[in-house]
A and B are shown apart, each in its own frame.
Chain A
């Protein structure tokens, strides 16, 4: 098993390198971060040249990639613009843990991202929890009552659920719970931000602001997960061992929860495990609509300013998380299912 894990880690490295190359090439060509540093007017020519040099943007793209990867302490850079490279560089590169500084606000990328990760995790983990619980409930129920009216209604709703773009759901929810409720004088839900700054970042505030974004995000995943659980449960319920269990006289509840669900939860665990790292992407669209200060909004804001270090930092973080979680999922899968052997 250990050798399998090590092998998978080693396989992950060239994968991450390929990803970083593709993304870096794309990012560097998406626009000029210095072009908009002039505020409301075009950046002055002399400042433009100087800023490009100081931020290392005047080098060819492969040199920039190299500096991003391994830093530039082993070479000299031209700091004062006289054309002579005389000062040793100070960047360590991503392989040594230095994600660089944001081009927009000169703060270290890790600090910029680190400020936002907890906010995204709060949103996504609660969403995932609701989705899993909800999907289990809905999926099991409709599997047990296959072809009943409930099953058909739930199936139809699930289809509708994952056919809607998230922002449409969000807009509808905002319209009903914020606009209409307010018009009718009912207590209404907030639609902006994570908390009211004057009241402070209390648990109550965050929960209150979390309701609409989490529900908007959950609908789509809930719909597709519940269908998946339903079909898995149906598969399991048709197995011989279930029939044996029933014929042994076990109560319905024992059969379903002890035997069926445990076996059905295996593929579910896989799906959850593979989906979790994508949570770091932070539901870009939802955060944008609800102004939630998370990583998705950070990504959008900084992509529009062509801030390569921050964007690459976020993307690589997600890619690493995906690779790591794939390995963890495989390991857990093997541990849960004694039939699986890796060598």
Chain B
């Protein structure tokens, strides 16, 4: 390089050869800037570690171990969160309960995402009478308040599935029931979003091109249009986990959700108002954990929405 620098800006080889950032990298950058979302991510990770990692220290047998002479003890060193009405350790139960709650949240979202995509894609792509019928059904389900649907479905499916043995652990059959009914009552929102996406995208040129080359419809739906609508689906799924955890809490609080002895954060709150004064630790800790989980997921979802789809302004 000459000692005297010229006044004209010269592009260094570095700048010329930096490849443009991919979509994912751009999204990640935008995400990182969203402070609440980063906080949410950290808190959520901590909670997941609490729920999964805690089981390394406290066995499931301990969580289910009841000793009626130790019932309703206030928090002590032995039982940092106290004991419940038959002497089970509340801390251990929040750990295992957290596993089930998070599991329910995730699997319910899987169910509702599959349903929502199917209904939305078919309605949006084929239009006409298929669209009409599917949208009528969607509207019908939307017109009934979710909690009513949950209660009625919980009673309908309740008690019909026996205990399951998975991975060496026993789950009450009601876990499957709850996953099913939460999935069956939440797919409508996603279906509408997916349908809107399909309606707008299906007139695009790449679709016309695909049709022109004789691609079968299924391929067009799943390999061409759907990948372009991933952003709202991801956001909706994330927020759906929060909604599912809340829904499970509500329905278990009413006594119609997951049945004991399988613990979830929601059913630990069942009958909590009977112990409002006498044993506040029974409801405070599970409630707090639900709050933290849902809050961090909401932050996360907000950040994802800003990162993946900065144009959308819906709440």
Are A and B in direct contact (Cβ within 8 Å)?
A: yes
Q: Check A163 against B295 for contact (C-beta < 8 Å).
A: yes
Interface bits B68-90 vs A (CB < 8 Å: 1, else 0)? 00000000000000000000000
**With A27-B152, A167-B253, A179-B277 in contact, do A18 and B136 touch (Cβ < 8 Å)?**
yes
Residues of A272-322 contacting chain B, CB below 8 A: 278, 281, 284-285, 288-289, 299-300, 303-304, 306, 311, 314-315, 318-319, 322
Could you show 15 A-B contacts with beta carbons less than 8 Å apart?
A18-B136, A164-B287, A165-B250, A165-B253, A168-B269, A179-B276, A281-B147, A281-B148, A284-B254, A285-B254, A299-B148, A299-B151, A304-B155, A311-B152, A318-B143
Contact-residue size bin, chain A (C-beta under 8 Å from the other chain): 35 or more
Please pick, from A23, A26, A163, A319, the residue contacting B242 in the complex, using a CB distance under 8 A.
A163
**Assembled-state Cα–Cα distance A228/B140 (Å):** 26
CB-CB under 8 A from A179, the residues of chain B are 276-277
Interface bits A203-227 vs B (CB < 8 Å: 1, else 0)? 0000000000000000000001001
Q: Does A125 contact B (CB under 8 A)?
A: no
CB-CB under 8 A from A117, the residues of chain B are none
Residues of B245-285 contacting chain A, CB below 8 A: 246, 249-250, 253-254, 269, 272-273, 276-277, 280, 283
Q: Does B137 contact A (CB under 8 A)?
A: yes
Please pick, from B152, B283, B291, the residue contacting A164 in the complex, using a CB distance under 8 A.
B291
**With A26-B156, A165-B253, A299-B151 in contact, do A228 and B315 touch (Cβ < 8 Å)?**
yes
Please pick, from A27, A159, A281, A303, the residue contacting B36 in the complex, using a CB distance under 8 A.
A159
CB-CB under 8 A from B250, the residues of chain A are 165-167, 285
**Assembled-state Cα–Cα distance A279/B254 (Å):** 19
A residues with a Cβ closer than 8 A to B are 14-15, 18-19, 22-23, 26-27, 29-31, 156, 159-160, 162-168, 171-172, 174-175, 179, 224, 227-228, 231, 235, 278, 281, 284-285, 288-289, 299-300, 303-304, 306, 311, 314-315, 318-319, 322-323
Interface bits B294-315 vs A (CB < 8 Å: 1, else 0)? 1100110010000000000101
Q: Check A18 against B315 for contact (C-beta < 8 Å).
A: no
Q: Check A303 against B151 for contact (C-beta < 8 Å).
A: yes
Q: Check A30 against B254 for contact (C-beta < 8 Å).
A: no
Residues of B218-259 contacting chain A, CB below 8 A: 242, 246, 249-250, 253-254
Q: Check B155 against A31 for contact (C-beta < 8 Å).
A: yes
Please pick, from A156, A168, A281, A288, the residue contacting B287 in the complex, using a CB distance under 8 A.
A168
Q: Does B144 contact A (CB under 8 A)?
A: yes
Q: Does B115 contact A (CB under 8 A)?
A: no
CB-CB under 8 A from A168, the residues of chain B are 269, 283, 287, 290-291
Q: How far is the CB of A24 from chain B (nearest CB, A)?
A: 10
**Assembled-state Cα–Cα distance A303/B251 (Å):** 13
Q: Check B136 against A15 for contact (C-beta < 8 Å).
A: yes
Contact-residue size bin, chain B (C-beta under 8 Å from the other chain): 35 or more
Q: How far is the CB of B90 from chain A (nearest CB, A)?
A: 16
**Assembled-state Cα–Cα distance A289/B151 (Å):** 16
Q: Check B299 against A303 for contact (C-beta < 8 Å).
A: no
Given A22-B141, A167-B253, A318-B148, 12 extra CB contacts under 8 A:
A22-B140, A163-B291, A164-B290, A164-B294, A171-B273, A175-B276, A281-B147, A284-B254, A299-B151, A303-B151, A318-B143, A319-B144
Q: Does B145 contact A (CB under 8 A)?
A: yes
Q: How far is the CB of A165 from chain B (nearest CB, A)?
A: 5
**Assembled-state Cα–Cα distance A319/B144 (Å):** 6
Q: Does B67 contact A (CB under 8 A)?
A: no
Q: Does B163 contact A (CB under 8 A)?
A: no
Q: Does B60 contact A (CB under 8 A)?
A: no
Q: How far is the CB of A93 from chain B (nearest CB, A)?
A: 21
CB-CB under 8 A from B156, the residues of chain A are 26, 29-30
Q: How far is the CB of B265 from chain A (nearest CB, A)?
A: 10
Q: How far is the CB of A40 from chain B (nearest CB, A)?
A: 20
For A283, the closest partner residue in chain B by CB is B147
CB-CB under 8 A from B153, the residues of chain A are 26
**Assembled-state Cα–Cα distance A160/B288 (Å):** 11
Please pick, from A19, A156, A172, A235, the residue contacting B144 in the complex, using a CB distance under 8 A.
A19
Interface bits B108-149 vs A (CB < 8 Å: 1, else 0)? 000000000000000000000000000011011101110110
Q: Check A319 against B143 for contact (C-beta < 8 Å).
A: yes
Q: Check A160 against B140 for contact (C-beta < 8 Å).
A: no
**Assembled-state Cα–Cα distance A306/B277 (Å):** 33
Most A-side CB within 10 Å, residue of B143, B246, B254, B277? B143
Q: Check A15 against B143 for contact (C-beta < 8 Å).
A: yes
**Assembled-state Cα–Cα distance A235/B313 (Å):** 9
Q: Check B139 against A315 for contact (C-beta < 8 Å).
A: no
CB-CB under 8 A from A303, the residues of chain B are 151-152, 155
Q: How far is the CB of B276 from chain A (nearest CB, A)?
A: 6
**Assembled-state Cα–Cα distance A221/B148 (Å):** 18
CB-CB under 8 A from B273, the residues of chain A are 171, 174, 289
CB-CB under 8 A from B141, the residues of chain A are 22
CB-CB under 8 A from A18, the residues of chain B are 136-137, 140
For B288, the closest partner residue in chain A by CB is A168
Please pick, from B148, B249, B280, the residue contacting A165 in the complex, using a CB distance under 8 A.
B249
Please pick, from A31, A166, A299, A323, the residue contacting B143 in the complex, using a CB distance under 8 A.
A323
**Assembled-state Cα–Cα distance A301/B180 (Å):** 24
For B35, the closest partner residue in chain A by CB is A152
**Assembled-state Cα–Cα distance A165/B253 (Å):** 10
For A230, the closest partner residue in chain B by CB is B315
**Assembled-state Cα–Cα distance A27/B153 (Å):** 8
The 10 closest A-B pairs by CB, nearest first: A30-B155, A168-B287, A163-B295, A163-B294, A281-B145, A18-B140, A322-B143, A19-B140, A228-B315, A165-B249
Q: How far is the CB of B136 from chain A (nearest CB, A)?
A: 6
**Assembled-state Cα–Cα distance A284/B254 (Å):** 9
Q: Check A165 against B155 for contact (C-beta < 8 Å).
A: no
